[in-house]
Amino acid sequence: MSLNEIDKLSREEQVYFAKLAEQLSDMTDYITAAVLRTSDPTSEERTLLSVAFKNTIGTRRTALRTISSIETREKERGESRVRQAGLTASARERIEGELRDLCLRVLKLLKDNLAPTAQSVEAQVFYGKMIGDYNRYLAEFGRPEELEELVSTAEQAYVKASTLAVAELQPTHSMRLGVALNYSVFAYDVLKDADRAAKIAKSAFDEALTELDGLSEEGYRESTMILQLLRDNLQLWAAELEGVEEPAQEE
């Protein structure tokens, strides 16, 4: 379906097709069109927006890590692999370009349309976390001249979202835990500050753990899933200090 055809659908139809597209193909066009037609997207629409771009960008982030690893190996093999190294460099640059375009598209949507009109605390924290996330993704492969600004913008977004979440949301709230999870990954992977990452993750984990008993079944399931990721990362980071390296888990 073309973008013009998508624009002609009602908002409800756009959300409906976004759900279908999640199972079939890229859902970003549908859900973007839907959230642009309201100043206050629902929780379901926010989640669909996050999932849509996470799925699209996640495959490219994985591909970029793989291609970068191959490129490094080819370069290390010397002159006999110059052509192969050049081909992998071209592939890496193409994936970086696609990632950059997608991240900038999300950030423009967030900064121009969604974050300024967010009404609930949950929405403000949600969009703040996304702004942090997508600046972090850009920082993973950013050019040297833009890296400082990307890192600074991501950190400011995480700090703002985290501060609001701690002040207004329960320790077991999935949004508060999600911000802590991704903020701690940012601290570890981008800032290279293992102590800070562990402090963020452990604080969120410990505070939530003492209040799980009062949650509904659904709330318990959502919170414990993120708590497991926080615990996995704390264990992973401890292992990496001993020389075992694996990618951290994020929401």
Reported pTM? 0.85
Between CA 94 and CA 199, with CA 126 as vertex, the angle to 5 degrees is 90
- The string of pLDDT tens digits covering residues 138-156 is 999 988 899 999 999 999 9
Give the pair of three-digit tokens for residue 101: 């375009």
Has residue 97 got a pLDDT over 90?
A: yes
| Residue found by looking up tokens 């400082």 in the block | 148
- The string of pLDDT tens digits covering residues 46-57 is 999 999 899 889
Give the separation between CA 21 and CA 16, rounded to whole angstroms: 9
Q: What is the pLDDT of residue 64?
A: 92
- The string of pLDDT tens digits covering residues 162-174 is 999 999 999 999 9
Has residue 159 got a pLDDT over 70?
A: yes
CB-based contact 18:34 (threshold 8 Å): yes
Amino acid of residue 98:
E
Give the separation between CA 126 and CA 158, rounded to whole angstroms: 10
Give the pair of three-digit tokens for residue 177: 């835990």
Residues 6+ apart with CB under 8 A from 219: 172, 174
Give helix 174-189 / helix 194-209 axis angle, nearest 10°.
Answer: 160
Give the separation between CA 149 and CA 146, rounded to whole angstroms: 6
CB-based contact 143:99 (threshold 8 Å): no
- The string of pLDDT tens digits covering residues 99-144 is 999 999 999 999 999 999 999 999 999 999 999 999 999 999 988 8
Residues 6+ apart with CB under 8 A from 149: none
Amino acid of residue 142:
G
Has residue 65 got a pLDDT over 50?
A: yes
Give the separation between CA 115 and CA 106, rounded to whole angstroms: 12
Amino acid of residue 62:
T
Query: If you average pLDDT over residues 42-71, what whole number do you get?
Result: 91
**Cα-based torsion angle of the residue sequence 150, 151, 153, 155 in order, rounded to the nearest 10 degrees:** 160
